[in-house]
Amino acid sequence: MDERIRHFLSPSLRYFAAVARYGSFRGAARELNIASSAVNRQIIALEESLGVELFERIGRRIRLSAAGEMLQRHLASAIVDFEGVTTELDAMRGLKTGRVRVATVESVAAEFLPDVLMRFSAAHPGIELVVSVAVSDDVERLVLAGEADVGLTFNPRERGAFAIGFSRNLAIGAVTSPGHPLAQLRQVGIADCMRFALALPARGLSLRQALDSTAALRTGDYRMRLEANALGLMRDAAASGQVVAFHTRVGLSRDLAAGRLVFHPLTDADLPVDQFAVIRRAGKDLDLAPATFHGFVVQELARAFDATDADSAAERP
């Protein structure tokens, strides 16, 4: 336990924690460097104040009672919170740096996130960044489980469980090589794509769920050349000219700028938009380092996303 935490706890609670840890008054007294009788008096006073016995005294042995076990659990939780406070205070004083756990979908990790991470790291060189790349459902799971502080994902399902710091509706488009016949069309719908071999996102990905909801794809009248849960693989397949892939603009800017790929927003009225969102667990304030990163990434996203693409997507049902 951080020595500073003792200032958050009354003497009787500190003595209780020590007795519970050692299972004896003598062991606690040695740690606290006081007489065993003083420890015993503090425990008796605490029990009288709470109106319950915290320890069962069996001869010379003691053990936690049911009430004592409950108090120990809550005290342990409080100590964890106090440790978080001291960590934040250290970070504010520049003594320690903090740690940020980020869960992200692949398309964001492939292009946007590396630059953001490096710029954040340059501004906050002491903060450790831990990144997990996962599908959308797993990003949600990691944030809900407290295994990630910030999530970058598409179409969060458990909306009530998350605080959404940033969101943007993005058009889903057909992605082809410049030499593909679709690349020459002014407008492209899913029916146009179905005349050619397709590379589809794996079932379970938010992008596939959106495509499968359309009347055109529900007919099943298409040729699937490739199905994958790796969007980078599908981008490369599309660049070969042999298949039509599907994507938002997220993760494509370099390939589009280089002329390696062509992106056509799909015109199907029944195609849902793909909503990109930055999420954190609702009802729980972020520690200083994750909160600093959260604010930074939201600001960078607001600058980076193409407003035209977002607005056109938002107008659709």
CATH number, domain with residue 298: 3.40.190.10
Place 3 in a pLDDT band, splitting at 50, 70 and 90.
Answer: low
Please name which of 9, 170, 153 lies closest in space to residue 76, comparing C-alpha atoms: 9
Question: Which amino acid does the sequence have at 80?
Answer: V
Structure tokens, 129: 């960044």
Rg for the chain, CA atoms, rounded: 28
Is there a domain that residue 315 lies in? no
Count of domains observed in the chain: 3
**pLDDT > 70? residue 87:** no
| pLDDT of res. 4 | 62
First to last CA, the chain: 54
The residue count for the chain? 317
Residues 55, 68 within the same domain: yes
278 close to 148: Cβ distance less than 8 angstroms: no
Is there a domain that residue 67 lies in? yes
Residues 181, 267 within the same domain: yes
Residues 157, 190 within the same domain: no
DSSP 117: H
Is there a domain that residue 85 lies in? no
Residue 61, domain extent: 3-79
Residues 193, 142 within the same domain: no
Helix or strand holding residue 65 (H, E): none
Place 307 in a pLDDT band, splitting at 50, 70 and 90.
Answer: very low
Helix or strand holding residue 35 (H, E): none
Residues 107, 191 within the same domain: no
Residues 217, 128 within the same domain: no
Residue 227, SS3? strand
Read off the pLDDT of each residue in 73-99 and give the average, rounded to a whole number.
Answer: 70
Residues 245, 187 within the same domain: yes
| pLDDT of res. 237 | 95
Residues 147, 214 within the same domain: no
225 close to 273: Cβ distance less than 8 angstroms: no
Is there a domain that residue 70 lies in? yes
Between the alpha carbon of residue 19 and those of residues 2, 36, 66, 83, the distances in Å are: 18, 10, 15, 21
For residues 237 and 220, the model is more confident at: 237
Range of 94-108, 169-183, 292-306 with top mean pLDDT: 169-183
CA distance 278 to 305: 13
Is there a domain that residue 110 lies in? yes
Residues 159, 191 within the same domain: no
- The CATH number given to whatever domain includes residue 30 is 1.10.10.10
- The CATH number given to whatever domain includes residue 255 is 3.40.190.290
Is there a domain that residue 94 lies in? no
Residues 186, 158 within the same domain: no
Residues 63, 115 within the same domain: no
CA distance 54 to 68: 4
Q: What is the pLDDT of residues 126-167, one digit of tens each?
A: 888 999 998 888 999 999 988 899 999 998 887 789 999 999
Residues 184, 204 within the same domain: yes
Is there a domain that residue 168 lies in? no
Is there a domain that residue 86 lies in? no
